[in-house]
Amino acid sequence: MEMLVNENCGLTGKIAIVFGGSRGIGAAAARRLAREGADVTVTYVSAPERAAETVGAIEATGRSGLAIKADNADPAAIKAAVAQTVDHFGKLDIAVVNAGILMLGDVEMVSVEDLDRMLDINVRGVFLAIQAAAARLTEGGRIITIGSNTAVRSGHPGSSVYSMTKAAVAVMVKGIAIDLAGRGITVNNIQPGPTVTDMTADHIDAIRPLIPLRRAGDPDEIAGLVAYLARKESGYMTGSSLTIDGGMAL
């Protein structure tokens, strides 16, 4: 069955890196890309055992996986992860930028340290990951960022800074898509709504009633959209932000 998926979906022979790929949406994306034929690097910061599990799942599909420790707030680590991927696999075709953090707080409560941390990882880190990957991507490559539907819908108190960072990513993607269009590289942004992951565990129940479909998303559903944007058939889409949130932003 795995071979049928690989042959039909067109990612066989492709090399991908998933920044923040050890768990949650990133891990689901890494597994899906592997099922569709890609060899995949995943980066992680503080969960080496989860990264190893993801690599194991990649290898279970018959593809090759690689885990690299790299903090998205560290420009040197980001560049090194891309370089190691190219050295290991010989090229880079797909970059998924999933690394990010969620810190909630009313405007009076957000510390300068928390503000800087979210900006460093959710905005600066995304830009640096795209920049590092773009320098090594093959012609016609793919860049896919994982943003949030809060870029278009801030539905609860305490999300102002997080929403701001995700809105920045949506605008960033538009400009970078133009920069890279001459090389046939597409750059698109996925904006998930509430999705069941470690990061959302503490507040997902409170948000669920706000979702028209009355359920949270599954990481594999987001990964399916990642796979579409990675494939050849999506080649005429670039600079777009695609919201997948059970109807919250309607």
- For residue range 113-163, list pLDDT tens digits in order: 999 999 999 999 999 999 999 999 999 999 999 999 888 876 677 788 889
- How far apart CA 245 and CA 152 sit, in angstroms, is 11
Q: How does residue 201 score in pLDDT terms, banded at 50, 70 and 90?
A: low
3-state helix, strand, coil in the chain (%, to 5): 50, 15, 35
pLDDT for position 116: 94
Catalytic residue among 44, 162, 228, 236: 162
From 209, 167, 213, 206, select the one nearest 189 (Cα to Cα): 167
Three-state DSSP class for residue 15:
strand
- For residue range 163-194, list pLDDT tens digits in order: 999 999 999 999 999 999 999 999 999 999 88
Q: What is the CATH number of domain 2-243?
A: 3.40.50.720
- pLDDT greater at residue 124 or residue 108: 124
| Residue 214 neighbours by CB under 8 Å, 6+ apart | 208, 246
List the chain domain ranges.
2-243
Mark whether 236 is an active-site residue: no
Q: What mean pLDDT comes out for the span 100-107?
A: 83
pLDDT for position 100: 84
- Whether 248 shows a pLDDT value over 60: the answer reads yes
Select the highest-mean-pLDDT range: 105-119, 139-153, 187-201, 224-238.
224-238
- For residue range 3-44, list pLDDT tens digits in order: 334 445 589 999 999 999 999 999 999 999 999 999 999 999
